[in-house]
Amino acid sequence: MFSSPTAATRPDAALLALRPLINAEATDAAGTVGHFLHATLRPVLKLQNDLLLAVVADFVLDHHITLRPTDQHHQLSELLGRNTKLRYTVVGLITGAFTADEYAFYRLHRPEVNRRLLEMVLRRVLDQAAAVAEVASEL
End-to-end CA distance of the chain: 40
Q: How confident is the model at residue 137 (pLDDT cuts 50, 70, 90)?
A: confident
pLDDT at 136 over 70: yes
- Which range has highest mean pLDDT (2-6, 14-18, 69-73, 118-122)? 118-122
Distance CA 59, CA 85 (A): 9
Exposed e or buried b per residue across 84-117, where buried means at least 16 C-beta atoms within 10 angstroms of its C-beta: eebbebbbebbbebbbbebbebbeeeeeebbebb
pLDDT at 123 over 60: yes
pLDDT tens for each residue of 45-67: 999 999 999 999 999 999 888 88
Instruction: Report pTM.
Output: 0.84
